[in-house]
């Protein structure tokens, strides 16, 4: 077992998942404003530290993806955020892309930027305690999208990123996200997600990336938000497992799904069913942002000093997600 493989497995062991707390300052500001809380560095770290010091972090959260501002902040007890996470057995991670920008040559699609200067930034993040990283490629689904240009360009960028991350002895999370927005069917989502993931692994192999030290962060197979052809949660789970069986090399240790705009309970229920139908050797867990934090954020906004109440809500959500990662979640437990 390589060190990278050990880190990847440690993050996802025993039903643990990943808390995606890597919202940029702009995105976090929107989230805080939506619940009428002023977005200051102090309030941003107060909310995050409230979650990071919750009881269920130890049992449920194997890794936390941080943003550049957050990994450089200090906790209220004077410790670094990386230290705070390490002490509860959660590995610190860092988002390293600089965002999806309009793609030249395909004005309706995006390419993720951030490769310039990445090697130097990775060295700095490693010194700050990061053990893994994240880079997101984003794709539209329609009759003509994602284009071959988008599929190839984003796969190439993800592979170059992953190779640089492993050179720095960190685990890369590879996140190709096909967006839920649109009128596409689940079959469209299946076909296009399959094409994107296949291309990503072709490029990763070409760039000599050690697949046993990679975590894939894909979307689930869902019909578009405006689609007339919705499918059941069971069908979502079966199609998602089939897609990953067909496209992901066996060396990959784990898959951590993004929630992609699903509600907290939807994302949990679908993950639970995926694990019931999972007949592969892949660990299938979660890497959720909103689907772990939204209820806690709404509660916290009513009184930002009610740490215990906010943590109780986050603890419940984390526990439900980890049960789902083991295929042991139920509606009865959800509503307890």
Task: Please state, in angstroms and rounded to a whole number, the distance separating the CA atoms of residues 35 and 51.
Answer: 17
DSSP string computed for 158-179: HHHHHHHHHHTT-EEEEEEEE-
With beta carbons less than 8 A apart as the criterion, state whether 81 and 75 touch: yes
Beta pairing class for 100-103 and 91-95: unpaired
Spell out a b/e string for 9-19, using b for 16 or more CB atoms within 10 Å of the CB, else e: bbbbeebbbbb
Which residue, chain included where needed, has tokens 């170059």? 160
* Two structure tokens written together for 323: 């049960």
Is 36 known to be catalytic?
A: no
Annotated catalytic residue within 16, 95, 131, 217: 217
Contacts 24+ apart (CB under 8 A), 145-148: 145/108, 145/109, 146/109, 146/178, 146/192, 146/195, 146/196, 147/106, 147/109
How many CB atoms sit inside 10 A of residue 266's CB? 16
Please check whether residue 223 is in contact with residue 181, taking contact to mean a CB–CB distance below 8 angstroms.
no
β-strand partners of 250: none
- CA distance linking residue 173 with residue 154, whole number of Å: 14
Which tokens go with 4? 């990278």
- Write the CA distances from 56 to 51, 86, 319, integer angstroms: 9, 14, 7
Closest alpha carbon to 68 in 37, 38, 98, 110: 98
CA distance 232 to 245: 20
Looking only at the bridges linking them, the beta strands covering 254-257 and 171-178 are unpaired
Give the residue numbers marked as catalytic.
Answer: 217
């Amino acid at each position: 077992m390589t060190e990278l493989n050990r880190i990847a497995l440690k993050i996802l062991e025993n039903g643990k998942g990943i808390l995606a707390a890597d919202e940029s300052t702009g995105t976090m500001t929107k989230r805080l404003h939506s619940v009428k809380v002023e977005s200051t560095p102090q309030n941003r770290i107060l909310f995050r530290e409230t979650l990071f010091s919750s009881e269920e972090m130890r049992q449920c959260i194997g890794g936390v993806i941080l943003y550049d501002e957050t990994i450089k902040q200090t906790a209220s007890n004077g410790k670094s955020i990386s230290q705070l996470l390490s002490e509860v057995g959660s590995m610190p991670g860092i988002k390293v892309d600089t965002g999806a920008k309009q793609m030249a040559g395909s004005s309706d699609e995006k390419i993720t930027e951030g490769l310039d200067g990445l090697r130097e930034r990775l060295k700095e993040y490693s010194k700050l305690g990061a053990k893994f990283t994240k880079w997101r490629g984003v794709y539209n689904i329609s009759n003509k999208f994602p284009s071959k240009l988008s599929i190839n360009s984003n796969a190439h960028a993800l592979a170059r990123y992953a190779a640089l991350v492993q050179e720095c002895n960190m685990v890369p999370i590879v996140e190709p996200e096909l967006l839920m927005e649109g009128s596409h069917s689940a079959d469209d989502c299946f076909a296009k997600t399959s094409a994107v993931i296949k291309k990503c692994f072709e490029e990763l192999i070409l760039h000599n990336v050690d697949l046993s030290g990679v975590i894939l962060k894909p979307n689930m197979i869902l019909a578009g938000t405006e689609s007339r052809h919705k499918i059941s949660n069971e069908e979502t789970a079966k199609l998602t497992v089939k897609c990953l069986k067909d496209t992901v090399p066996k060396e990959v240790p784990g898959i951590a799904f993004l929630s992609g705009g699903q509600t907290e309970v939807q994302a949990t229920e679908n993950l639970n069913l995926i694990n019931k139908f999972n007949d592969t050797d892949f660990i299938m867990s979660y890497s959720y942002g909103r689907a772990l934090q939204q209820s806690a954020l709404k509660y916290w906004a009513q009184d930002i000093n009610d740490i215990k109440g906010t943590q109780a809500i986050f603890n419940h959500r984390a526990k439900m997600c980890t049960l789902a990662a083991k295929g042991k979640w139920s509606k009865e437990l959800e509503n307890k």
